[in-house]
Amino acid sequence: MSMIRDVLLKITGRERPPAGVASATMLDPSPHVYVFESRCAIRIRTGPNKSSPFYGTPTFGEVAVVDYHYRYGSTEEISEATLARVNRALCTSVDRDIDPEEHVMPGIRSFSIRIIRRPTTQRRSGFWAVTKAVSDGELSPEQIDWLAQKIVGQFGDGWGEGLEQRDIVPGYVLVLSPPPSYKAAGGKIRLVAKIRRR
């Protein structure tokens, strides 16, 4: 990727690739960490959905979400132990199913997600996905926006959609892109930290 970037710089004379080319810039070649927050939800299984046409069909060890009824869980209902299990399973899924360069953005060397909870006493209460992306170099503002869009895309239509089709741990489904009716004000993804690694 750095060779491609160098060629682009020689051809165009620009400090960043032309529009439409997403990769880390050479403004500062040291690794940078970008931390985003976005609202998420955890759904709790409440019972079997016997009206499902797939109810009782073998699922090869995975729970078919359509076979059960679920509801959104509050921060008070999900125990610390359950949240820890969800995060372990999420970490395994990200490591197994996401290639940062291919699925997120060229120039991203590592990618991780952790679910945190904020109690109802806080203004931004609820469950939040804290996404950390480490780039090869500093990203321009346009590239940060592109990275945020790619993360949202993975949550809603890509890998994250697959998560919603099965229990992440028995009895619980992680929804990284909850429906608009569930989102509180300020629930969109936002950059909360930018850290330069030396």
Amino acid identity for residue 136 in this structure: D
CB of 113 closer than 8 Å to CB of 103? no
In tens, the pLDDT along 123-172 reads 777 899 999 999 988 888 888 988 898 888 888 877 888 888 888 998 89
Terminus-to-terminus CA distance in the chain, angstroms?
A: 20
Residues 135 and 29: their CA atoms lie apart, in Å, by: 9
Give the mean pLDDT of 9-31.
Answer: 48
**H or E element: which one contains 8?**
helix 2-12
Considering only residues 195 and 187, tell me which one the structure prediction assigns the higher pLDDT: 195
Q: How many CB atoms lie within 10 A of CB 123?
A: 9
Q: Reduced to 3 states, what is the DSSP secondary structure of residue 191? A: strand
In tens, the pLDDT along 56-111 reads 665 545 555 667 888 888 888 999 999 999 999 999 999 998 888 888 888 888 99
- CA-CA distances (angstroms) from residue 133 to 47, 148, 186? 37, 10, 21
